[in-house]
Structures are given as structure tokens and as C-alpha cells.
Amino acid sequence: MEIYDIKPIEPIVDYFFYLFVAFVIVLLLLLVAAVVAYFRNKKPNRKKEILQQLKQIDFSDAKKDAYTISALAKELIVDEQMQQKYEQLFEMLQKYKYQKEVPPFDEKVKREFEFFVGLADARI
């Protein structure tokens, strides 16, 4: 006598492992895309660019360099000490601006400028 209402055991297909692997792959792809986008869109630090420009000043044209130093050095101020040094440097540079003929920079101005650049380099 055979029972017809009981059927044999059928295997259950487990898709959990495949879904898990697919999920991990998608997460890794998103992570790689985020890292690539971050480094592709990373902008250089503006203050470091200004500092590089100031370091490249060669003091050959005193009038042009005085204007350049005055404009760029203001961007590097981050604290009170740098503000005071900038104001001192700015006052020293006034005699090299607004005139037709200007003398070359004297050593005091060069030392003050190099001190300001060193101070900015340490703070940025």
C-alpha cells in the first residue's frame, strides 16, 4: 500500500550566499568610486600656493614685488602675531609703492619678509 499524499523531500535553493557576495561587490565598487572622486576633485590648498608664490619672489623689481607681497601676504594671516608682522612689513613696503622710481629692497625689508614667510610656513 502506497501513500500518495506525501511527496519526497525537495532541495531548497539557498540564494543568500550569492546575494551577500553581490552586496559586498557593490559596496566595494561604491567605495572605490568614492575614493577616486575624492582624489580627482581634491583642490590644492590656496594658502600653500600663495606661500610658494611668495617664496619665489627674487627681489629684482622692487615696485612690482612690493605690490605682490602686499597683496599675497594678507591672505596668509592666521593669528595676531602674523597680523602684526604683516602690518610692519606693509609699512616698510610703502616707500616702494606709488612712486615712479624706487630703490632696490634694503636688507631690513628682506629680513622682515623672510621672517614673515618662515612664520607663515610654520603656521600653515
Mean per-residue pLDDT of the chain: 90
All three cell numbers of 107, joined, read 636688507
**43-76 per-position pLDDT tens digit:** 778 889 999 999 999 988 999 999 999 999 999 9
**32-43 per-position pLDDT tens digit:** 999 999 888 877
In the structure, what pLDDT confidence band is assigned to residue 26 with cuts at 50, 70 and 90? very high
The residue ranges of every structural domain in the chain are 46-123
Q: Is 79 left (phi over 0), alpha (psi -120 to 50) or beta?
A: beta
- Cα–Cα distance for residue pair 49/73, rounded to 1 Å: 12
Q: Quick one: pLDDT at residue 5?
A: 74
